[in-house]
Structure 1
Amino acid sequence: MKQVTIKDIAELAGVAKSTVSRYLNGGSVGKATREKLDRVIRDTNYEPNQFAQSLKSKQTKMIGVIVPRLDSYAASRTMMGIDEQLTERGYQMLVVNTAQQTEREIEQLYNLAKQKVAGIIWLGTTVTERHLEAIETIQIPVLLIGQQHDNVHSLVYPDHEAAYALGTRFTEWGHRNVVYVGVYESDIAVGQARRDGFLKAFQESESNVNIIQTTFKIEDAIPIGEQLADEVGTISLIVCATDNIALGVLKGLANQGVSVPRDVSVSGFGGYDFTEVLHPSITTVHLPYRRTGAKAADMMLQLLHGEHVPMKTFTIFELKVRESVDKLN
């Protein structure tokens, strides 16, 4: 017989999973909701798992924040937004780093729950069945930033739409021979959504596109820039999945005496502050990391207070047209 889960209880009672979690952990719920949950739990013979039982003591006013890298510009700006908003509301954040390791992400979901955090904001790179199992087990609100899954509240960057908008701008400027330097598909947002948005724009203009895969590290993109220096004259534009990759490519091209944008154009994605003060300044997509962090904190507190939060919420983006991409027409 299938074991009844907190998700089943929520569906049968017609309430959010966070409401069931709050009820099971001794939190405040309305009288009508409490009576409804009492009835459903009695009728289904639901028994909270042992891990959840250990969390029934009063939660702290602490929000766990799981980040893939401490040296990431996007992560640091996002954490600044989270911290500012939580502090204003009387909460604190507890930051844990996973060094982009899936096993550590899953471990930290459990560890943060054991430390009685009220909720977890997770800057994710991929969502596996084991992540979902952990989230189901700990029975506290989890909010995912940057990726999305139907079973997890998610605050998502419009990666596909932004990449398509920027790619369309490039084709309008006459770029038809393009190299796209991206990351691996295990990262759904950056490795798939951004790539697919750019490819859609280039395919609509019947452009020639070559795809190269790398990591998020600047140093790994430098040899790619050096390699692409040999193709100057046959390609007009190098599109990079992140600003860090663009920085590495620019360095590699410079090492080979290639001038940007005179010899070849280069674009980034992310809108890091320093991309504006470089020479040439980088054409990119600006994503509002700090504002997104503040929004995530607001959404988490809404979940903790039993308010309705959509399963998927999109942020905004802005195209930053600067010096590193030339208009061929």
Structure 2
Amino acid sequence: MRIKDIARLAGVSPATVSRVMNNNGYVKEEKREAVLKVIKDVDYQPNPIAQSLKNQKSQMLGVIVPKISTETASRVVAGVTEVARAHGYQVLIANTDLDIDEEINYLKFLSNKSVDGIIMMGTEVTDQHLAVMDKLIVPIVILGQKVKGYTSIVHNDYDASYTMTEYLVKQNHRDIAFIGVDEKDEAVGIVRKKAYLDCLNNYKIDVNDRLMAIGDFDIDTGYQMMQKILSYKTPTAVLAVTDHLAIGAIHALLDAGLDVPNDVSVVGIGDIKLAEYLNPPLTTVHYTFKTSGKMAAETVFELMKNPEKQGDTLMTTFELKTRASVRVL
């Protein structure tokens, strides 16, 4: 089905069909309705390649994710896709599997104008990243990390971690263990840890370095770090900086013959879907990951129109989800 075929069926000229499809130029309402009816009746699908050549646009957004299998990434991508679809765009997903070199390679690949904008879920933003990003000719939004000079959408990691630590303190916990991640990830590794330490200090609670363990993001790490802490002392509560780490910690506690929450309370951050179905359901912080994906996409489209706005930092909200994994002492 070609434009001239639609024109013939609608009883108008090909130029009129073109104006309706591109929403460009005046068309009488009855003719517009006739063209739109034919397009709907024949289920006409424009050729995206031909359109991109004509408009000098790819109609594509690139999304670089650190690990596509995580719930966080899937929620973000769902938000991006929803907004992209509303703008007539499709989404190209690049999964780096937490490999920095792959992130660099994908940035280089996407920078040749194969997409009209890029959203990168940041974990560690290095000088190598910045060297490539500085050469981009399309707008980029960083999600999850604040990067100077680039539009960033960040989670309120400090307040979320502080609020969760304070919640444990208000349940009369004082021996609060901490399971974190490497400080290469500034938001999760540095900011959430700082909030935990600041909260303890503000409440005049001694910080015990032996109740703190640092590892990776996966469940196995949570298990191993909990075992390490238990080899020194059994705390009354554990703050894990992600829900996956919290799940690993719970399993380590159960294998050690301890009960959650009667012996040890456990909390996380992230509110993955599994969190409310654990036994006991996990107290955690709910981040609006899908909303942040929508924010990132809307911001990219805004930067396409107004590139001079590059450099703003936007912050998402959070909500404390109190469930049965915490006991009041």
| Residue of structure 2 in register with 1:285 after alignment | 285
| Residue of structure 1 in register with 2:118 after alignment | 120
Q: In 2, Cα distance between the equivalents of 1:326 and 1:64?
A: 45
| Residue of structure 1 in register with 2:315 after alignment | 314
What SS is found at the alignment partner of 1:223? helix
| Residue of structure 1 in register with 2:167 after alignment | 169
**Among residues 61, 64, 69, which one is paired with 2:62 in the alignment?**
64
Alignment of 1:1-329 (within 5 A): 58-114=56-112, 116-209=114-207, 210-230=211-231, 234-306=234-306, 308=309, 311-328=312-329
Q: In 1, Cα distance between the equivalents of 2:57 and 2:132?
A: 18
Residues 327/231 of structure 1: CA separation in 2 closer, same or farther (3 Å cut): farther
What SS is found at the alignment partner of 1:189? helix
The C-alpha deviation readout for 1:214-236, integer Å capped at 9, x for no partner, is: 1101122223334444566x521
What residue identity is the alignment partner of 2:224?
P
The C-alpha deviation readout for 1:23-69, integer Å capped at 9, x for no partner, is: xxxxxxxxxxxxxxxxxxxxxxxxxxxxxxxxxx9231101000001
Q: In 2, Cα distance between the equivalents of 1:140 and 1:127?
A: 18
Q: Is the 8 A contact 1:145 1:296 kept in 2?
A: yes
Q: Which structure has the larger Rg?
A: 2
What residue identity is the alignment partner of 1:186?
K
| Residue of structure 2 in register with 1:5 after alignment | none
What residue identity is the alignment partner of 1:250?
I
Q: In 2, Cα distance between the equivalents of 1:166 and 1:221?
A: 18
Q: In 2, Cα distance between the equivalents of 1:262 and 1:230?
A: 19
What residue identity is the alignment partner of 2:321?
K
| Residue of structure 1 in register with 2:21 after alignment | none
Q: In 2, Cα distance between the equivalents of 1:304 and 1:201?
A: 41
Q: Is the 8 A contact 1:229 1:258 kept in 2?
A: no
Q: Is the 8 A contact 1:176 1:206 kept in 2?
A: no
Aligned-residue offset at 1:206: 2.3
What residue identity is the alignment partner of 1:293?
G
What residue identity is the alignment partner of 1:265?
S
The C-alpha deviation readout for 1:156-213, integer Å capped at 9, x for no partner, is: 0000111111211211221111110000000000000111111111111122442100
Aligned-residue offset at 1:310: 5.8
Q: Is the 8 A contact 1:299 1:309 kept in 2?
A: no
Q: In 2, Cα distance between the equivalents of 1:241 and 1:297?
A: 26
Aligned-residue offset at 1:136: 1.2
| Residue of structure 2 in register with 1:34 after alignment | none
Aligned-residue offset at 1:313: 0.3
Aligned-residue offset at 1:107: 1.2
Aligned-residue offset at 1:115: 5.3
Q: In 2, Cα distance between the equivalents of 1:110 and 1:255?
A: 46
Aligned-residue offset at 1:256: 1.8
Q: How many percent identity over aligned positions?
A: 32
Q: Is the 8 A contact 1:178 1:208 kept in 2?
A: no
Residues 231/267 of structure 1: CA separation in 2 closer, same or farther (3 Å cut): farther
What SS is found at the alignment partner of 2:238? strand
Q: In 1, Cα distance between the equivalents of 2:225 and 2:192?
A: 19
What SS is found at the alignment partner of 1:180? strand
Aligned residues: 271
Q: In 2, Cα distance between the equivalents of 1:70 and 1:236?
A: 35
